[in-house]
Amino acid sequence: MGLDFSVVPGFLDSILIGALWTIAITLSSAAISFFGGIFFAVISLYGHWVIRLPFRAFAFLFMGTPLLLQLFLIYFGLIQIGIDLPAFVAGIIGLGLHFAVYNSDIIKAGILAVDKGQHEGARTIGLSKGQTLRKIIVPQAVRNVVPPIGNNMIALLKDSALVSVIGVTELTLSAQLAISQTYRAFEFYVAVAVCYYIINLCLEYSLHLIERRIQISR
């Protein structure tokens, strides 16, 4: 069987819908991973050891095992304990938590890099501990770590392909559906790879804009 890319346009609709799902999944799990990352970073730096130790174990587990395995655990595990979530919700939670753990390491380093005087100054003018963190420390910390977090977002976009395995109809699965009708694997996977590449370029460009925008002029 030779190559025949003329079958691709017929499935353009479903591929584009798949691409929209991929973008939606990437953005929502990126949001979870960002805020989750901040939350985890604050816990592991300032939390009571009763919270900190289980979190350490959780982070250790999530960094030492493949994402695919974690997706299986979350999707099938939640069903087992009686929570029947749609696959795409399980996928978003899985991707979000996985990258939250990676982001938390980066944000932790960012928090530690914020000058100590900022903390002391904020406390001196009467801000509470929580206020100091929320209004003074975290905003500065996050600003410092935008480039590495951006890299994680790009990795997240590519890893979002994995949720096709638990049955989420995003870009990858939309290709598989088209292939099951046409038996033209090469054409559709290449088409989908091109879509990922384009989304990737757009994401990189937006991250570049964000980086430029939040730079403080010193």
Contacting positions for another protein (CB under 8 A):
1-3, 60-61, 64-70, 72-73, 76-77, 80, 158-162, 164-165, 172, 175, 179, 184-187, 189-190, 192-193, 196-197, 200-201
Assign residue 67 a region: left if phi > 0, alpha if psi is -120 to 50, beta otherwise? alpha
**Cβ-based nearer residue to another protein, 39 or 196:** 196
Hey, what are 53's tokens? 């130790």
**Cβ-based nearer residue to another protein, 75 or 133:** 75
Chain centre distance of CA 43: 19
Chain centre distance of CA 125: 36
CB of 192 to another protein, least distance (A): 6
CB of 42 to another protein, least distance (A): 25
Contact 32, 92 (CB under 8 A): yes
CB of 22 to another protein, least distance (A): 10
**Cβ-based nearer residue to another protein, 80 or 124:** 80
Whole-Å CA distances, 42 to 115, 133, 186: 16, 8, 46
**Cβ-based nearer residue to another protein, 42 or 88:** 88
Type and span of the H or E element at 115? none
Neighbours of 58 (CB within 10 A): 13
**Cβ-based nearer residue to another protein, 70 or 104:** 70
Contact 137, 118 (CB under 8 A): yes
DSSP for residue 126: T
CB of 137 to another protein, least distance (A): 28
Task: Determine the Cα–Cα distance for residues 27 and 137; give it in Å rounded to an integer.
Answer: 25
Which residue shows structure tokens 């559906």? 177
**Cβ-based nearer residue to another protein, 108 or 184:** 184
CB of 117 to another protein, least distance (A): 32
CB of 156 to another protein, least distance (A): 11
